[in-house]
Amino acid sequence: MTKITDLFSKHRAIGIVGDRNSAKSSLALSKLIEIKEKYKIDVYVLGVETNLYDYLKSKKIKILYSIEDVLDLKIKNSLIYLDEFGDLFDTRSESKQKDKIKRFFNRLAHLNNYVMVSSAQVNFWNKFICSLIECYLVKQIDFEALVRGTTLRRKIISIKENTSDYRLEMPINTYYIITNEGLVEKCSFKYNENLDSKKDLTNPFMSKTETKADLKAETKADLKAEMKKCGKNKTKKFINKHKHKLISN
């Protein structure tokens, strides 16, 4: 499986594409922490949820608080993650920020910087943005959110598994790597609840009893599906490890 560092060895910018609530930020932040633990490089984030700040700081990730800190080109020799880029910057053709955004991307090599950008904004991944970014980590996405005429849209629609006429679907820990020059690659990452800013949110229209029952049913179904994948020699070990989840009320 291709590592994020392999991608950065060829690309200065990586885009993370997906719908809202598709774990784009969790994917990006898990990769940033992985890089920070192995390489001596400053890592900055802008636009992430504030309830993640303490955990990110504990992992030596630096928090940015202003858009101008990025566009002023004062950061050097670093990796920068811009979460929900489309909410932070205006990328429309008539935008006054467009020239600054283009200058920022064009100066990445000169400043020895690398950048990860995510956005769930409809039509964000237009021809302008796709001219600046040529490598993508793709999560679940509605096809209507993508701009016609881009290589990114063409390659996403061409994926032939987990697709309907309208969207690309996948488990929350799965993503695809898409580049302009290479083959599409399917990958997975380890879910980290510390990077899930929505993990404590509850549905006010669902009772606690219903929520618990539904979650338990889903857990049992998932575990039984995994059991089917195990060979006979592994089934007993699997059951012993997860039997507390399989016991009914």
Same domain for 133 and 52?
yes
Q: Token pair of 109, please?
A: 């090599």
Same domain for 58 and 180?
yes
Quick one: pLDDT at residue 32?
96
Residue 201 lies in a domain: no
Residue 57: its H or E element: helix 53-58
Residue 173 lies in a domain: yes
Tell the burial category of 141 from Cβ atoms under 10 Å away from its Cβ (0-12, 13-18, 19+): buried
Q: What is the largest CA-CA distance in the chain?
A: 64
Residue 226 C-alpha from the chain's centroid: 25
Same domain for 226 and 112?
no
Same domain for 125 and 160?
yes
Residue 203 lies in a domain: no
Q: Token pair of 143, please?
A: 């096809």
For residue 215, give every residue at least 6 positions away whose Cβ sits within 8 Å of its Cβ, in sequence order, or none: none
Quick one: pLDDT at residue 243?
46
User: Looking at the DSSP assignment, which residues form a beta bridge with residue 186?
Assistant: 176
What is the rounded CA–CA span in Å between residue 249 and residue 246?
A: 10
User: Which one-letter DSSP state was computed for residue 163?
Assistant: B
Same domain for 130 and 154?
yes
What is the rounded CA–CA span in Å between residue 213 and residue 51?
A: 28
- How many structural domains comprise the chain? 2
Quick one: pLDDT at residue 161?
86
What is the rounded CA–CA span in Å between residue 226 and residue 233?
A: 14
Quick one: pLDDT at residue 245?
44
- Domain containing 20 equals 4-195
pTM: 0.78
Q: Which CATH number do you get for residue 51?
A: 3.40.50.300
Residue 131 lies in a domain: yes
**CA nearest neighbour of 24 among 71, 67, 84, 74:** 84
Quick one: pLDDT at residue 233?
55
Q: Taking each helix axis as running N to C, give the angle between helix 208-229 and helix 232-246, from 0 to 180 degrees, rounded to the nearest 10.
A: 170
Same domain for 94 and 117?
yes
Q: Give me the residues of the chain with pLDDT under 70, please.
A: 1-2, 91-95, 199-203, 205-249
